[in-house]
Amino acid sequence: ATEAALLQESAAVDTIKATAESEQAVEEQVQSEELQTRAGALELEAQELEAAAVGDEEEATGLELKAGEEQLAADEAVTHAAADEVLADEEEEVAVEAGTKAAMDEATELEDGTAIAVCNFIPFVDILCDGLGAIAAVYLESQVAAELVEAASATGAAAIARNDERTHAAEAAEMETASIVDDEAAAGLETKAEAKEIEALVDQDEAERDEAEAEALQAEAEETETAAEAEDATAEAEEAGADSFLDKAGQHG
């Protein structure tokens, strides 16, 4: 009876241990599943961050290409502005020269007119003076008119060239500014992409650690469950032994 009582007490202890180990195994299983769920969420977040980083990098590349095109357009506009400035200078020079020449020819015409007026008071010479004076006047007037037209045309061309110069200079400034803005935006996107890639790597590392810990907990839970089953088996064997002793004791009594 004493041996049966001891076996029953040992069986009770083993049953308690088995129950505790079973509960521990369940807790470890739950923790393992939570870690696996967390690892899955981290892996998903890492994938989303990597995709976002790729999108940022692609957008940055597009902006860099755009900035390059804008810089090229700015350079071309600067070249056009420089050519317009040279053309404007040349046309203004032509206008000044033509205007100056027209003024000089007009002065010459006035001088010739004065000489002819004096000549008209000389007998027999006045007829010759009138004829020559008329020819000279017509020539000079035509020359002055042509020179004034040339001066006006050159002035107009110079004005157009100056306007084109200002337009191209403004376009160059606008393209240069746009290029700088796009370059800065591209740099910002690349920085964001790098930050997202780093964050994705951190999430991926954490997910891998969680998965490893989950696997370890899963293995530990399985071991604990195996130990609990062994304790249950031992408890059952001890209870069976106690029952056997009690039966034998009863038979001898």
Rounded CA separation 84/71 (Å):
20
Determine the Cα angle at 47 with ends 41 and 49, to 5°.
Answer: 100
Q: Which of 168, 231, 179 is nearest to 64 (CA)?
A: 179
**What is the pLDDT confidence band of residue 107, given thresholds at 50, 70 and 90?**
low
Determine the Cα angle at 200 with ends 194 and 203, to 5°.
Answer: 145
**What is the predicted pLDDT for the residue at 114?**
44
Q: Which one-letter amino acid corresponds to residue 98?
A: A
Rounded CA separation 54/192 (Å):
10
Rounded CA separation 56/187 (Å):
10
CA atoms in the 13 A half-sphere facing the CB of 11: 16
What are the pLDDT digits (tens) for 110-122? 444 444 444 444 4
**What is the pLDDT confidence band of residue 137, given thresholds at 50, 70 and 90?**
very low
* CB-based contact 144:102 (threshold 8 Å): yes
Here the tokens at position 197 are: 């890639």
Q: Which of 201, 204, 189 is nearest to 53 (CA)?
A: 189
Rounded CA separation 221/234 (Å):
20
Give the three-state DSSP class for 253: coil
What are the pLDDT digits (tens) for 16-40? 888 888 888 888 888 888 888 988 9
Rg (the chain; Cα; Å): 54
**What is the predicted pLDDT for the residue at 162?**
81
Q: Give helix 2-119 / helix 125-252 axis angle, nearest 10°.
A: 180
Rounded CA separation 200/35 (Å):
18
Percent of the chain scored above 90 by pLDDT?
A: 11
Here the tokens at position 203 are: 């999430």
